[in-house]
Amino acid sequence: MALTTPLSDIVVLEFGQRIAARACGSLLAQAGATVLTPRAYAPDEPFAQLKSLVSSQPDALESAGRKAHIILTCSEEPEGTWPHPTASDQIVCDITVGDIPDRSRRGWTDPLLQAAAGLADTTGFPEGPPTVCEAPVVEMQSGIRGF
């Protein structure tokens, strides 16, 4: 008997490199999707689990993109925008920070996102300064919302 999962027929190309895109890809893989990525993960990295490595060569990426039902991108990254045409039935999920045309938030880190979102102001002790959580909580929440 073959195991069927909710997303067993779905192919995802994880093109974006932000933690949020990688977390979203991991959640989709855990739900049964086939997740392809051009990013070579370290074997012990949590986001590496259940993903298949594809070549980062343009032809190989374009081929993987044609197979994908979902393409995860991060257009604020220097090379994070999917450069190939997509079909009308493909989902392109751009997990990024802010308004892309001005690119003023390119490269924002999770601690900066926590501060900008007011999360840092709600953590810590009442008599102390705002405290940034060391875990990438905003990135992980974004990955969950992308899922």
In the chain, at which residue ranges do the beta strands (DSSP E only) sit? 11-14, 34-37, 51-53, 70-73, 91-94
Q: Is the pLDDT of residue 104 over 80?
A: no
Instruction: Give domain limits for the chain.
Output: 11-106+138-146
Give percent above pLDDT 70 in the chain: 91
Four-residue CA torsion sign, 119, 124, 125, 128: negative
Confidence of residue 13 (pLDDT cuts 50, 70, 90): very high
Alpha carbons 35 and 51: distance in angstroms, whole number: 5
Fold topology of 11-106+138-146? Rossmann fold (3.40.50)
The whole model's pTM is what?
0.84
